[in-house]
Amino acid sequence: MESLFVIVDLDHAPASASASEAEVHDRDRVVVGVAAEPKDAVEGFDILLTGVPDPPGPWVGCADPHATARQLGHIVETRPAASAALIQVLRMGAGLSIPDRLILESLAYSTLQGGAGFRAWLATAPRRTPRPAETPVRLDREGPRLSITLDRPWVRNAFDAATRDALCEALQVAVADPSIGRVDLYGNGPAFCGGGDLAEFGTSRDPAQAHLVRVQRSPGALLHRCAPRVTAHLHGACVGAGIELAAFAGRVVAAPDTVIRLPEIGMGLIPGAGGTASIPVRVGRERTAYLALSGVELSVREALHWGLVDAISEVDDVTSDPQEALRH
């Protein structure tokens, strides 16, 4: 099988490299460009790596870009289906509306749920006992302000089906009621949200039905509809769904201990809570691809520099106007 991964050394690429890379791009490989320093007008690459710290987007800075590129290549080789699906969804999504991006993501996610990569991960993953909550999402209304709190602290607010459904109900209130001028999204306990509840992974036996449910009960779609009024307050672990959903918010405020990660490729999947729709809007598809493929932890300072969060704060930011934040 032809390799799905290509590294291009942009410091030594010929003048005709852009045309040749367009041809590679059309073959749906993962194309990574590497350069000692960021270059202008570089197109047709899925990820761009440089040795310069804190480079401008869409570049990602790393100590040894060639070594990082090789590590990414190894991930693509071990998870080819998920890696290819991720890149294809991100490329195609660039030309779609947010609602259509969510549908595209869900279709790819459901396809991968039936794949060998996900089955292999399930076979080695430890069994977990479900630990549900009677009220997984708590609502508090004070005048025009609605506070929504994920409330399963004993599992770091792991995102299970009951939490998804309860969050949808809460967000439907915000969407339907124009008198709500501000929505604040919190996570109770040591973390905002540690990602999907692993106790439920692999329990769905019908990926096609799961796709329909995912599209019909989409917190991401509802967050998108009321985004200008929403502030997400992050702290601790923001893994998978924890950052995918928060990125829809008009304003994202993070505590200094916030750590962000997208682990799904390692499971043979892609982000499935809306991350391929929400995160590229904030950081671009190239940096989104890097986060998802590498699975690395992104510090809160890096997230601020990239624009994935808007502010770092020790205390709740309840006075800023999220609509005003969007205008700046």
Kindly give the confidence (pLDDT) of every residue in the chain, 328 residues in length, as a single tens digit, with 9 standing for 90 and above. 678 999 999 998 765 455 345 444 556 799 999 999 999 878 889 999 999 999 999 999 999 999 999 999 999 999 999 999 999 999 999 999 999 999 999 999 999 999 999 999 999 999 899 999 999 999 999 999 999 999 999 999 999 999 999 999 999 999 999 999 999 999 999 999 999 999 998 788 899 999 999 999 999 999 999 999 999 999 999 999 999 999 999 999 999 999 999 999 999 999 999 999 999 999 999 999 999 999 999 999 999 999 999 999 987 654 444 444 333 3
Same-domain status, 282 and 137: yes
DSSP readout, 87-102?
HHHHHHHTTS-HHHHH
Q: Is residue 159 part of a domain?
A: yes
Q: Is residue 255 part of a domain?
A: yes
Q: Is residue 89 part of a domain?
A: no
Q: Which of 45, 78, 111 finishes a domain?
A: 78
Q: Which residues contact 57 (CB under 8 A, 6 or more apart)?
A: 283, 284, 286, 287, 306, 307
Q: Is residue 119 part of a domain?
A: yes
Same-domain status, 102 and 58: no
Same-domain status, 141 and 253: yes
Q: Is residue 93 part of a domain?
A: no
Same-domain status, 127 and 25: no
Same-domain status, 50 and 148: no
Establish how many alpha carbons lie within 13 A of residue 237's alpha carbon, considering only the half-sphere containing its beta carbon.
19
Q: Is residue 91 part of a domain?
A: no
Q: What is the CATH number of the domain that holds 112?
A: 3.90.226.10
Q: Is residue 228 part of a domain?
A: yes
Domain that holds residue 308: 98-326
Q: Is residue 188 part of a domain?
A: yes
Same-domain status, 35 and 102: no
Q: Which of 48, 78, 108 finishes a domain?
A: 78
Same-domain status, 65 and 112: no
Would you give the distance in Å from CA 308 to the centre of its chain? 10
Q: Considering Cα of 12, then 14, then 17, then 20, what sign does the dihedral take? A: negative
Same-domain status, 155 and 70: no
Q: Are 167 and 91 in contact (CB under 8 A)?
A: no
Neighbouring-strand partners of residue 150: 137, 187
Which H helix or E strand runs over 232? Answer: strand 230-234
Same-domain status, 25 and 110: no
Same-domain status, 296 and 247: yes
Same-domain status, 178 and 283: yes
Reduced to 3 states (helix: H, G, I; strand: E, B; else coil), residue 26 is helix
What one-letter code names the amino acid at 12?
H
Same-domain status, 136 and 27: no
Strands lying side by side in the sheet with 145-150: 137-142, 145-150, 182-187, 230-234, 251-254, 311-312
